Chains A and B, each alone.
Chain A
Amino acid sequence: MQILLVVALINVFVIVLCGLISLSDRFFNQTGKANIAINGKTAGEVECGQSLFSALTQTGVFLPAACGGKGTCGRCQVKVTGGDGPLMPLEQLNLTSEQIAAAMRLACQVKVRQNIELTVSDELLNAQNYVVELVSAETVAESVKTLVFKLREGESLHFKPGQYMQVFYQLPWEKAIRAYSLSSDPRVEQSFSLDVQRVEGGLMSTYLHQLQTGQQIEVCGPFGEMFLDPEATAQPVVLVAGGVGLAPMRSMLASLLHGGFTQPVMLFHGVRSRKNLYYEEYYRELARQFPRFSYVPALSNPMIEEGWTGARGMVHQVLEQQLQPAAFTAAYVCGPAPMMQAVTRVLVAKGLPESRIFTDPFDF
């Protein structure tokens, strides 16, 4: 009898508590629809309760999020003029006080709870979603592959040299997002290439390295503030790449080569050893053909058997030794954050104003 009583009591109790939880869900978790207005125009109706970032994706606006919407890269900035909630801790870390004062928010941190009004730059509105097919995959250095993707019939991609694409990978519980710089010639609009370094335990890089020719992936873009300034094509330029940070520089060089190198261009490529160096022969040949283009590969830890006779040391040290002060009017730097900081310090010491140094970090 007592056992029956215990079982009945526990059941009743659990049912009551479950009822309480579902009631609170209905009351607290706002459900229903909300309108999103972008630049004064209604963009669409979305479900409440999700992040503004994913809500915008549903309305066809693709924002950059190199960190995959975790709130650490600070790239999904939008100006929210109405309907946002309080500022989140990660936003306080990633936004400057001027940006906060200008009502800038990180879309991945804002939850849609009511109708939202926002301002998005036209450049971001140009980014589109594409389903692309892998047409070739070539191993160009140790753990680095150059993957060439073809767009669907009738589609074209317009990007500036130095910009990047976001690649999606659908996991059972979420959609992973990673950013990869476009390494192809921007004049080719029906296809593009990405240089992907396989990272130990890396989700996306492992997936992309295993991708077979003919398989399709979802990408969106182009994004990125670091791109070759049209004015810079008439000025001496220095390009500094660390490892696979060469990707955006390859795109820039393709563009500069098209103009026939009308100005001095210097490419510094820093890697650990020769097996990490890629397209070395191609750039050496280019340097032989065009006297205005110079190529300086720098190895920080060359192996004895490689017989390396070129520059040794970290790329910023080589830059310090070989770059003439004030010989360049713009610099583009891409690589791991510590390398970029060191390179920026050297360039500033050489007399280049910080406003003329364009950087694109690829780790968050």
Chain B
Amino acid sequence: MPTRQILWNITSVGPILLYSLMVVPFIFIAFGLSRRARMWRLGQPEDRFDQMPRRLWNAFVMSVLHGRIERRRNRYGGTMHLLIFWGFIALFVGTTIVMIQADIVGPFFHLTFYEGDFYLGFKAAMNLAGLAVIAGVLLALYRRYVRRPATQDTTGDDLVILCFLLVLCVQGFVLQALRLAVTQDPWAAWSFVSYPLALSLRGLSPTALRAIHAINWYAHFGTTTVFLSYVAYSKMVHPFTSVANVVFRRLKPRGVLEPIPNIEEAETFGIGRLEDFSWAQLMSVDACMHCGRCLEYCPTFNTGKPLRPRDLVLEIAGYLADRGDIFSGELGAGENSARFRWGAGPDRELVPGVVSEAELWDCTTCGACMEQCPVYIEHVPLIVGMRRNLVLERGEFPDEVTSVFNNLERLGSVYQFPPDQRDAWTRKLDRPVRRMAEAAAAGEEVEVLFFVGCLGSFDARNQRTTLALARILQAAGINFAILGKEETCNGDPARRIGNEYLAQMMAQQTVETLNQYSFKKIVTACPHCFNALKNEYPQIGGNFEVVHHSQLLDQLISEGRIKLDPNSALARGKVTYHDPCYLGRYNGVYDAPRGVIGALPGAELTEMRRNRSRSFCCGGGGGRLFMEETRGTRINQARVREAMNTGAELLAAACPFCMTMFEDGIHGVGAEEQFRVLDIAEIVAGSLAGSGEPAEPAEPRPVPAP
């Protein structure tokens, strides 16, 4: 009957040492993990224990089944991790099975399941698992030494872990081969890696083989003990921390920023100290394995700015480790995970001692980092939290933003135009546009409330989009109205810049205005308004059905409520589409705008390399539209070049922020003659049967500065 003697060639000293010294890794692992938990508890309380079945299932799918690790653009890294992960799990389970046989089933029940066909299959499976780990480790080493992607930095810790895994597997195969060389099991070929090795070893004498086997057994056991003791102080802690972070991740829509509760009574604002982070945020920075996925589509990393989301997280993690008094990383104070600042000590100010102001203000809040992170680290809330502290407690923010705050406070708009100019654009339409107040006074039902937004109301370029959308709504016979002079900024720019007080004020005002009226749904051409109205307003009692104009247009076209002219000159040839971050990544609207472009007769949609959830930001989010871009190269120009590389002559946008950035970017790269950007509403309006190009906008009059 095929089987083997467990602990073959090992005297009783072996198991005594094996089991007694198990206490060492248990102490090290328990100490490291509990010190980490203690470290996380420095943060503020936050309830992340709801919906546990959903959380656990999600963690299983995303971590264990690699749902978020193995992705289309991450096949190499994903496959590498899959091989190591599943190989390692199989070997761990295999070791446990042997232990169950040796220490439970055999002694207590005098039974043996470790024999026969099970044994043969087990041996083959273990050989396969060992091979998988070795293959994964070799892929990892090849990537770090040869491929060297720009997003990946290799630390000593990374290499030591890989070496540990490689050596442990080689030791396992050699041990098996040494035993097989002596016992000459007739079924040895099932161990298909060790068996050929065993044949080579048969050239040595059995005595020598036994001696070498015993020494190697102790070496293997010693290596395992050291490796397990190192786990909690190295990146190998990630099976614990990363899975925990996936379990306890925020389940709200990603576009939602948590408000400062009861802001009027608050004594501190935002994140100014380590203790101002929530425990879950501290756990999340500790879960970062510096894989660099967050950098792949990051606009600041890709244009040479100081902000690199991975490094920002690791800087906080390094500070956390210093404060929490744990070796995190960590072979030394030299090159380690948080290579810039780890080991610099616990007595530092969060900003700028740990994170620089430039890092915080460069962020466009595009969410590309969060979309890519395999363990759901949320970088943007960390950054906005620290911005809030700078703005509300220290009064420190870029000079250019001062006028935005002033305008919002005085005029209810990011621009310096009086509220009575908000609806000036309507004068350019042939047919009048109703105001909600008029409709309410007349007791008329309104189907759609068109929330125009500041850019669509005042910015000359974006007014063309507003006019186009209004024309389409009229052409489709939709019963719609606008707020007109009653509309104010929804608060999104203030919130993303960090002025939460102002943002809440603006949002409250807008909700109160909207709640006065009766309508079925809100449509907006601005993804920033869309995200705020849809995802953030429920926080303050504003529960509305909100659609983006791309969704409405797609619906109108598919229902045949608007007819497109097959001879339209606006939509000829190749058109490329840019996914706005607040529409795509934050709200998952990818197909509707493509549906609109696909319906245009004569237009051929050609995708940019970075599209859909991997779209590259225009550079205008997070209040960056109102700030100077002084560091690195221009984000908008990088995106315009990418769009032009598709061979398209027309860039379709679906966001006024993107529109402004791309108009500027096209001028910046000097491509005005051969390339242009249009909103999808402009393209549709210009392609309506019997229509021409949208008319020039009304010019609002600016008000004097305060």
Question: Are A and B co-members of a single complex?
Answer: no
B interface with A by C-beta (< 8 Å): none
